[in-house]
Amino acid sequence: MHFSLHYTSEGSSASNDMVLRTSPVVDPRQERVPGVRTRYLNGDVPPDRVARISCTLGLPDGAGYVRLASADPSVQPAFHYCYLQHPNDRRRVREGLRMAVRLLASEAYKDVVDYRIHPTDAILADDDALDRWIRQTVGTARHVSGTCKMGPETDPMAVVDQYCRVKGVEGLWVVDASVMPRIPRSGGSHATVVMIGERVVDWIAGRVPVSNG
């Protein structure tokens, strides 16, 4: 059984920038990219007897970068995510995990949870220790966005214009999550990408006029 709690971190300038969600520790789906999922933190307990509350950082302040790995266009570029390098990202994840611990200790869970396995009380009590634990256990859903920036002609880092046309290349458009300036809150990017595609296809097909100004 799953539940999700969207909430706003203390002092955050964006609403619903965080999510707590429950899940079993075992995911029967085969990994498409081995090693992306988080490790099972079940200790000596059989995995089918363990559940977890995960803290999702929906709107990170930090950003990664993409670099070409080769002059060969068929070679996948190198992605550097730079997770949790921004201090406010670390602070918000610590806050979320400590909130999850308080939930587990509440009346609502008294008949559900026998005890907490990870993190220990000693780790929770120390910011540095908790930061180390988070770095050791962090995973990703890989809702990658913002790698092909949209912006005006005056922005030297912008790759596409407001119609998703690649600047300086005739007849080439980028229509996916890479044109987004930020990840859309904490719910994944699928619906937003569908909306972008439906909008841009009208421009490409000529059903809606495109300004060249």
Check pLDDT > 70 for residue 5.
Answer: yes
Q: Tokens 């099972």, residue?
A: 40
Catalytic site residues? Answer: 143
Mean pLDDT of 81-95: 95
Separation CA 59–CA 183 (nearest Å): 6
Confidence of residue 1 (pLDDT cuts 50, 70, 90): low
Confidence (pLDDT) at 42: 86
pTM of the model: 0.81
pLDDT digits (tens, 9 = 90+) for 160-198: 999 999 999 999 999 999 998 777 765 678 889 999 999
Confidence (pLDDT) at 158: 92
176 class by beta-carbon count within 10 Å (0-12 exposed, 13-18 middle, 19+ buried): middle
Confidence (pLDDT) at 187: 63
pLDDT digits (tens, 9 = 90+) for 26-70: 777 777 766 666 667 888 999 888 988 999 988 889 988 889 999
pLDDT digits (tens, 9 = 90+) for 108-133: 888 989 999 999 999 999 999 999 99
Please name every residue paired with 56 in a beta bridge, in sequence order, or none if there are none: 19
> What are the DSSP calls for 100-165, one per residue?
HHHHHTSGGGTTT-S---SS-HHHHT-HHHHHHHHHHH---------SS-B--TT-TT--B-TT-B
Mean pLDDT of 7-24: 89
39 and 14 in contact (C-beta within 8 Å)?
A: no
Backbone angles phi, psi at 173, to 5 degrees: -125, 150
Check pLDDT > 90 for residue 23.
Answer: no
Separation CA 68–CA 140 (nearest Å): 22
For residue 202, CA distances in Å to 173, 194, 209 come to 12, 13, 9
